[in-house]
Amino acid sequence: MRSTTQVQIDTLLKLQSIEIERNGLNSMLSGVPQKLQALDTKLKTFEQRFTEEQTRLDELKKKYRQREMDVEMNRGRIKKSQEKLRSVKNNKEYQSILKEIDDIEAINSKIEDEMIEYLEQMEAVENFLLSRKDEFEELKEHVKSEKASIQEEYERGKKRLMELNTEWDKISKQVEPGLLKTYLNIRDKRGTAVAAVNDSVCRGCHLNIPPQMYNELQRCDSLRFCPHCQRIIYWKAS
Ligand SMILES: [Zn+2]
């Protein structure tokens, strides 16, 4: 037959274990928005980098086309000069047109070197985008499923929390109002109100209980409080 004190302690321990689970759930639930945001940020960062590289590729293509047009235009100028050569009368003018053609050809050759460089850069960016495309898709999938499971955990947590609240209300009604008030006061101050004592040590504050009290505690005939942390204590065989 369990003593009144044992019943009281058991009931308070039930309340306490409900509260501990409830605290865990609450901190999990309150972390959810941050978790979701972190996933969004991860995706966004990746997307941003992707878009940046895409923009860079577009710019390179534009520059390449511009150079292509420059080369075309210069070729036209060379052709015109070559036509002019045919109708030239004196050597001086002939030499001057030849030099003009050489100059334009030199410019074109420089532009063509630039174009090769653009092509190489474009290829590098294209390869980057290609290699990241799958990775991006994978990340999108990962974020989607991760978010779904967080959401699920959230819903489960909320449901469990409601169950715990109902249970707490029910069990707390079994506690004598004065004791419940004491319990709540200690709980609000210490986080937990009930602590086991074994090997003479209060497991709430890890301090030693006086020998006399330790002996009394084992009799379990009335509620006792830890002289250090004021928690409600009970004896637990080690
Ligand atoms: Zn204590």
Segment 72-115, tens digit of pLDDT: 999 999 999 999 999 888 999 999 999 999 999 999 999 999 99
pLDDT at 25: 97
Coil/strand/helix, residue 228: coil
Q: 223 CA to middle of ligand 1, Å?
A: 14
What's the rounded Cα separation, in Å, for the pair 196 and 200?
Answer: 10
Q: 83 CA to middle of ligand 1, Å?
A: 106
Q: 195 CA to middle of ligand 1, Å?
A: 7
Helix and strand element counts for the chain (H, E): 4, 4
Q: 228 CA to middle of ligand 1, Å?
A: 5
What are the extents of the domains in the chain?
30-174
**CA dihedral defined by 106, 111, 117, 119, rounded to 10 degrees?**
-130
Q: 203 CA to middle of ligand 1, Å?
A: 7
Q: 106 CA to middle of ligand 1, Å?
A: 91
pLDDT at 2: 81
**CA dihedral defined by 55, 57, 59, 64, rounded to 10 degrees?**
-170
When the candidates are 1.10.3720.10, 3.40.190.10, 1.20.120.420, 1.10.287.1490, the CATH number that belongs to 30-174 is 1.10.287.1490
Interval 147-168: pLDDT, tens? 999 999 999 999 999 999 999 9
Q: Are 232 and 54 in contact (CB under 8 A)?
A: no
Coil/strand/helix, residue 66: helix
Q: 187 CA to middle of ligand 1, Å?
A: 13
Give the mean model confidence (pLDDT) for residues 132-152: 95
Q: 212 CA to middle of ligand 1, Å?
A: 15
**Could you identify the residue written with the tokens 């002289």?**
227
Q: 234 CA to middle of ligand 1, Å?
A: 11
Q: 173 CA to middle of ligand 1, Å?
A: 26
What's the rounded Cα separation, in Å, for the pair 40 and 229?
Answer: 45
pLDDT at 3: 87
Q: 1 CA to middle of ligand 1, Å?
A: 28
Checking if the pLDDT of 1 tops 80, the result is no
